[in-house]
Amino acid sequence: MTPAELQVAVGDLVRSAAARRGADLSLSDDQIVLERPRSREHGDWTSTVAMRVAKQIGVPPRDLAQELASGLGSLDGVAAVDVAGPGFINITLEAASAGALAARIVSEGEAYGRGDSLAGRSVNMEFVSANPTGPLHLAHTRWAALGDAISRVLRASGATVVDEYYINDAGSQMDHFGDSVLAAAKGEPTPEGGYPGQYIADLAAELVAENPELTQLPTDVARTLAKDFGYKRQLAEIQRSLEDFNVHFDVWFSERTLHDDTEGPSPIDVAVERLRAQGRVFESEGAVWLRTSDFGDDKDRVLVRSNGETTYFAADAAYYLDKRDRGYDEKVYLLGADHHGYIGRLKALAAAAGDDPDSVTVLIGQTVKVNGARLSKRAGNIVELVDLLDWLGTDSLRYWLARYPADTPLDLDGEQLRRRTNDNPVFYVQYAHARTRSVARKAAEADVTREHDGGDAFDPALLVHPTENDLLGELEQFPRTVERAATLREPHRVARYLEQLAGAYHRWYDSCRVIPVAGEPVEDVHRTRLVLNDAVAQVLRNGLGLLGVSAPERM
């Protein structure tokens, strides 16, 4: 009996108990929560449903628990049921019923752990979105790892997800960037408000090499050329570094397009009028405002200044409406620690546009430090992503950055991230996977296979060792962990789960042999344990894949 089947059985028994008493009880199977008991002496599963619904049914909780236990005890695959305390129902499954999970995992392969709880839901994930005026740095690295991992668990739960990078390529920062490149090309000092660093000098050298006539051009032409050249080169570098970090974006959205009025009103102008049509736009002191305070924002927001210039918030509004027009049910923004004010204003913007504010999710990521990381030689004042990858590697960085909730400030030990010991979680988990592959290779050398005498030798009733019971219990939790991680947008739950699974596997490895001792025959228990070993390998691979981390065959 699978946990899902057990959940349905408990629900059916509860509804039958209510019907016999004429009680009006609305209860879905999803509300029947089965949990692993803290002590395995209390069985494989425990349920508190009797205590939660007894009052609605009109019966004492313990009496209801006894009634449900009697019904559960008669089910195939259930070895024992007992009632504890005020109404806890502890359920022990037959070994064969619990052990069958291993074969199912091997059969399902990459599909194990995936579900459909978010099927039919479309999500736009916007993260990183750094200005294309310099290289990606340590903070961007965290947003990239977290955002991509969130997208992966959402997809694993059935959602349709589009990863989007908002290119901040409009505004004064781009002018300062272009002027910095041009000044370097002319051998002049960095202009006030400009960007220093060797990468600017490198861009300038490339610019001059491709445009030797640069210094002879009119100033306005040279400025435009320098800005566009630097922009394209810097954006290309950002894209390369993200791909090296195993982060792929489906859409690269240019802010410039929101200001484009060459073929009529710009998207920003159109957005202002659309919001005006909702009755939320007003004018005061010569400026145009959006009444976001009606929807929980701390103040109303200016869309167009009194001098006729549009604001960054107007661009945010146009960008939001563009996302909505593309049909996304949910718009997720992963922003830096200095963007707390955006939570209220983006939700208020959605409400002012006539949408459910809950269709906007704003996740605020906290700061991160890696001790021992050196400042970029090119940029001078930041720790670059490319340098971090060279020093620590993609797997270590991605795992550690996804291992903690977004709102947790991080101060990581760079040397621990590099350490190949069990106190380094990513090594611990990856080593568990490599060990499963080593066991499989050695099993093949010893003629331990899943088949015997032309048939399947898997016998789940042979998986009776306590460590096997623990390991199967951990394996069963994976789908629920993935679903929970997707629902809460918390991929760190997957990382912590993998560490628990790795620990259970290492303990099992120390206690149970897949390969018989020299001179002893290969028996079905060895063949069955090989299936369990391969099931663990599959779940470790699936889980690491959700974090964008590799599952090595050897270490």
Which of 221, 239, 257 finishes a domain? 239
> Nearest-5° angle of CA 147, CA 151, CA 157?
150
**Is the pLDDT at 448 greater than 80, yes or no?**
yes
What secondary structure, in 3-state letters, does 279-328 show?
A: CCEEEECCEEEECHHHHCCCCCEEEECCCCCECHHHHHHHHHHHHHHCCC
The answer to whether residues 164 and 179 belong to one domain is: no
SS (H, E, C) 402-434: HCCCCCCCEEEEHHHHHCCCCCCHHHHHHHHHH
**pLDDT score, position 97:** 83
Q: Is pLDDT of 42 > 90?
A: no
Tens-place pLDDT, residues 155-172: 999 999 999 999 999 989
Per-chain mean pLDDT for the chain: 94
First to last CA, the chain: 37
Give the mean model confidence (pLDDT) for residues 215-227: 95
Question: SS3 for 171?
Answer: coil
Higher pLDDT, 248 or 518: 248
Per-residue pLDDT at 363: 94
In this structure, the answer to whether residues 503 and 357 fall within a common structural domain is no
Task: Please state the domain count of the chain.
Answer: 4
pLDDT of residue 374: 84
* Model pLDDT, residue 452: 86
Q: Give the distance, in angstroms, between the CA of residue 67 and the centroid of all CA atoms in the same chain.
A: 42
In 3D space, the residue among 146, 99, 521 whose CA is nearest the CA of residue 333 turns out to be 146
**Between 98 and 254, residue with greater pLDDT:** 254
Indicate whether 51 pLDDT > 90.
Answer: yes
344 within some domain: yes
- Is residue 219 located within the same domain as residue 289? no
Report whether pLDDT(455) > 90: no
Q: Angle at Cα 456 formed by Cα 98 and Cα 527, nearest 5°?
A: 70
Exposed/middle/buried for 436, CB within 10 Å: 0-12, 13-18, 19+? buried
Residues 224 and 146 reside in one and the same domain: no
For residue 152, the domain's CATH number is 3.40.50.620
376 located within any domain:
no
Quick one: pLDDT at residue 98? Answer: 84
492 inside domain: yes
Task: Give residue 59's domain range.
Answer: 3-93
Identify whether the C-beta of residue 372 lies closer than 8 Å to the C-beta of residue 414: yes
Instruction: Enumerate helices (H) and strands (E) in the chain, giving the number of each.
Output: 20, 16
| Whether 147 and 261 share a structural domain | yes
Query: pTM higher than 0.75 for the full model?
Result: yes
Same domain, 291 and 334: yes
Is the pLDDT assigned to residue 258 strictly greater than 90?
A: yes
Looking at the fold, whether 178 and 164 belong to one and the same domain comes out as no
CATH number of domain containing 518: 1.10.730.10
Distance of alpha carbon 89 from alpha carbon 174, whole angstroms: 64
Please check whether residues 148 and 178 belong to one and the same domain. Answer: no
Inside any domain, residue 347: yes
**Which whole number is the average pLDDT over 19-37?**
84
Which among 328, 345, 364 is the end of a domain? Answer: 364
Q: What is the pLDDT of residue 377?
A: 72
29 has a pLDDT exceeding 80: no
Residue range 165-182: mean pLDDT, rounded: 96
The share of the chain scoring above pLDDT 90, in percent, equals 87
- Mean pLDDT, range 249-265, rounded to an integer: 97
Local confidence band at 24 (pLDDT 50, 70, 90 cut-offs): confident
Range 130-139 average pLDDT: 94
Calpha distance 87→32 (Å, rounded): 15
Per-residue pLDDT tens for 395-415? 999 999 999 999 999 999 999
User: Residue 193: left if φ>0, alpha if ψ -120 to 50, beta else—which one?
Assistant: left
Final residue before a domain boundary, out of 296, 330, 364: 364
Q: What is the CATH number of the domain that holds 59?
A: 3.30.1360.70
Q: Are residues 152 and 185 in the same domain?
A: no
At residue 108 the predicted structure's pLDDT band, cuts being 50, 70 and 90, is very high
Are residues 66 and 86 located together in one domain of the fold? yes
Same domain? For 332 and 473 the reply is: no
Same domain, 138 and 203: no
